Amino acid sequence: MKIHTLSGYIQHIYLVEDTKGILLLDGCSRADVDNVCQYITKTLSRPLSDLKLVVVTHMHPDHAGGAMLLRERTGAQVASHPKAINWYSGVAGRTAHGIDLLLTWWVASRIGKPRFPIWYSPILAPDLTLRDNQTLPGFSDWQVMYTPGHTDHDLSLVHLPTQQAYIADVLVQVKGDLVPPYPLCHPNQYRESLSKLAHSQIDTFFCAHVPPTKKDDIDFDHVIENAPKKPKNHWHSSKNRIKKKLFGLTKDH
């Protein structure tokens, strides 16, 4: 088993190569699809059909945006948590999808990237659904760990023989410190997920926006203690701004 790290549009991309085929640990963004395909054919000198499975850890643009297009180009199966298909459903969901696309462009601009096309369907149509503790179809050395908090359907993936894990956006880095992601939709579940990771046998964590980090270098207690107690997402942020403005007007009058 070998993990190849690619520089994505705004995140790290992890391709797992072994004798059974190639596994993509997250669905990346639409802007990353050509890069992934070229890496498989040119760098690894393997046919695109060797990509067997694409896991969508959650529905945000840099984790799900390329999944369906990669399936179309390679024939790979797409897998996700059952709740992923409903994340952007309804009017509120479609609005959140649009905001998340704009946020992706904003992050890209902050790191000097141009505005590439990144739109993707807000409704995922996975071939497979994944549950907590099951092994990945076709890649039995990898086990699914349900780690909600950032969304209600976040998945982490653990390579059991080496105790390495990809945890997507469970942790991000701000000014050198490991902190909770934004949005944080389910803070209580997030703390439980962090506790699960802290008490696991995992040795090394791979993240979408943080370099590989040893477990001993992560102060889980500090992150748990300082994580928000209330949800932090687009809706709560908007409501808080409105409340502050209204409260300010009331005080002035």
* 33 has a pLDDT exceeding 90: yes
* 19 has a pLDDT exceeding 50: yes
Q: Which residues in 128-211 belong to E strands, given as ranges?
A: 128-129, 135-136, 139-146, 155-159, 164-166, 172-174, 177-179, 204-206
Q: Order of strands, edge to edge, in the sheet holding 139-146?
A: 135-136, 139-146, 155-159, 164-166, 204-206, 213-214
* Residue 244 neighbours by CB distance under 10 Å: 10
Give mean pLDDT, residues 134-162: 98
Averaged pLDDT of the chain = 93
Give mean pLDDT, residues 103-122: 97
The predicted structure's pLDDT at residue 113: 97
CATH of domain 2-226: 3.60.15.10
Tens of pLDDT, residues 211-237 = 999 999 999 999 999 999 999 987 655
Q: Which of 169, 152, 145 is nearest to 84 (CA)?
A: 152
Q: Which of 128, 124, 6, 146 is nearest to 66 (CA)?
A: 124
Give mean pLDDT, residues 142-161: 98
